[in-house]
Structure 1
């Protein structure tokens, strides 16, 4: 069969590429529509500024994704060690000297060019790659507590613990993703449950120390969000109310692109609550399509890895995809008021910088693994044909 330009340049699972492009189109349209209040506040109503800025970031992300998918997946196993070594000092530096916003130090500002960098996004992908590497290396002794479990659990607790004070939701998503990876990697269930208990105990200890020392940080914010979520009559439930109005008025087919009303009232409609804007403008049909695309992404990864013998490739692809899809489900659950407000962006859709960059790299890693699986299938087919 004659190969096309798609076969030549876009290797790996084509469905994943298609999902990425469809989500990018939704992202561009939704951000352009919802960034109006931001434009009037900072750019004298110049919404095109944010349109082209977001377009440039999406194209840059897709470029990184393309470059990442060309590398052999085994490269990421070696890179993971250095990435984790870099991530830990960056997280410490962020806690100590990071840009503070709403009592949270999540960003480092790069001197000279004044660009902010969210270190937790880098730490997430570094930890997922490292956990996948260690689990793949320890498969022959995976039931051992000392030689298999400890080398995994210590970095997980360290990285999640450093992210926790400024960003509880990111730490929780990353912790859950690592637990899922351990389960896939055949770590004994009693070790996994003990880690869950240790994580809960560690979180409780952090709360006690923070309250006792008076350095509460984000604790009051977390408590307020839980109270607002659990009490539907709470008068200060503004975000959830506006999101529900956007969803309710969207109906089945929506108000059509650019006709959102709640974008003028919702806080961060271009990031945290972009899913509500999508439903308002594209209706239930658009909302269901977004959910379907994320589930399709996860299904395709599980499908092409089902018979894959590559331990690291399987683990890193599943880990990256699970983190992305789990984060997406949390964002959408917040928008429809099934979950307290978390501040998690919708991957590949929300406006952002480092979020788009590292999400794109993660998808590129998944595509790199799928490219290798595809290559081995073709080579296996050729061997059968010549036999």
Structure 2
């Protein structure tokens, strides 16, 4: 009887229907990220005149905080996911506007606010909440209300675009716009609408190129590396060459001493140099497993909202992996995107933990293996 009472406990019920394999994949990435933060941050720690474990200690704090957030979000019902998304969206939007007036400026951009000794990037909280809200607006069974939802989500995207351009954060704009278009496509929006919207985004991106010097500089360095300063991407590319198949060994890399963002934007280059191509492929395989596993469960749902929200979240997660690794391999211009759960940073860890918590909540299953049919 005691066993039966335990199995009726909410935590036990959650454990019986949550996707434990996806959860395990995320835990593996978190653990590896904590380990790599030590070797990747030693050069930066020396530059800041702090001890070698400074960034490691902070990353471990971020890790356990993110883990708690992810598990909490995975317990939510469908209505809870939507409610939390609206609260996070309002908080993030207020924070983004606040950064324009009292934000900390880093490398010419005002994207961060200092909170209790930590530097928070509000736009990171915007990413998962915006995807959920857009899915909710676009999934109403009534076609007329669904069309109204489309225009509301377009308005939200427009507001975010203005704030992101003022910070400026062009990479975030590209990421969120891409995911939004993906959701529009999945929502079966008319092709003429999509074509018109694509034109609007193209015009906005062109204006960003003309009006934002750092965007123009990054694209110029990517398109014409021979006549540009490509210091970081050159060192990152060389790191993979030096690492070979099996790497130089933990702590033996030199790229982390040359790159100021070795522990964040270019952490994949550190992995390539110190652990080699094989480890890089294993890391990418874990990301691929999480994406494929979650997508497989998402497609079994009968609820349009779950399909749109889950697909959008996974597009965001996978897109960030592709962009970060693509930049490290010199396949894309630098954007400032982090590698989920591995790059150092509290804002990124919090954002990705919320995202995966939502994914785990949306993909919870019944004991018969079918996708759980939530009651809104």
Normalising by structure 2, we get a TM-score of 0.89
Cα distance change, pair 35–6 in 1 and its aligned pair in 2 (3 A): farther
Aligned equivalents of 2:227 and 2:366: distance in 1?
Answer: 53
Aligned equivalents of 1:8 and 1:320: distance in 2?
Answer: 21
The number of residue pairs the alignment matches comes to 364
The match for 2:330 among 329, 337, 357 is 337
The 5-angstrom pairing of residues 135-284 of structure 1 reads 135-137=138-140, 139-141=141-143, 145=147, 147-165=148-166, 166-205=168-207, 210=211, 219-234=212-227, 236-284=229-277
Structure 2 residue runs of 5 or longer lacking an equivalent are: none
Q: CA deviation at 1:49?
A: 2.5
Structure 1 residue runs of 5 or longer lacking an equivalent are: 211-218, 381-387
Q: CA deviation at 1:71?
A: 1.5
Q: CA deviation at 1:37?
A: 1.4
- Which SS does the other structure have where 1:35 is aligned? helix
Partner of 1:358: 351
The match for 1:69 among 64, 74, 79 is 74
Aligned equivalents of 1:142 and 1:296: distance in 2?
Answer: 38
- The answer to whether the 8 Å contact 1:160/1:174 transfers is no
Query: Are 1:122 and 2:125 matched, yes or no?
Result: yes
Partner of 1:13: 19
Query: Are 1:302 and 2:295 matched, yes or no?
Result: yes
Q: CA deviation at 1:326?
A: 0.2
Aligned equivalents of 2:208 and 2:337: distance in 1?
Answer: 22
Deviation readout 1:165-194 (Å, 9 max, x if unpaired): 311001110110111111112222221221
Partner of 1:215: none
Q: CA deviation at 1:199?
A: 1.7
- The answer to whether the 8 Å contact 1:143/1:187 transfers is no
Partner of 2:113: 108
Query: Are 1:83 and 2:88 matched, yes or no?
Result: yes
Aligned equivalents of 2:42 and 2:86: distance in 1?
Answer: 42
Alignment root-mean-square deviation, CA: 2.5
- The answer to whether the 8 Å contact 1:135/1:142 transfers is no
Partner of 2:61: 56
Deviation readout 1:286-326 (Å, 9 max, x if unpaired): 11122222222211111011221122222222211210110
Deviation readout 1:226-282 (Å, 9 max, x if unpaired): 222122323521111100110001111111222212111122110000001111112
Aligned equivalents of 1:61 and 1:116: distance in 2?
Answer: 15
Partner of 1:369: 362
Cα distance change, pair 206–268 in 1 and its aligned pair in 2 (3 A): closer
Aligned equivalents of 1:142 and 1:152: distance in 2?
Answer: 14
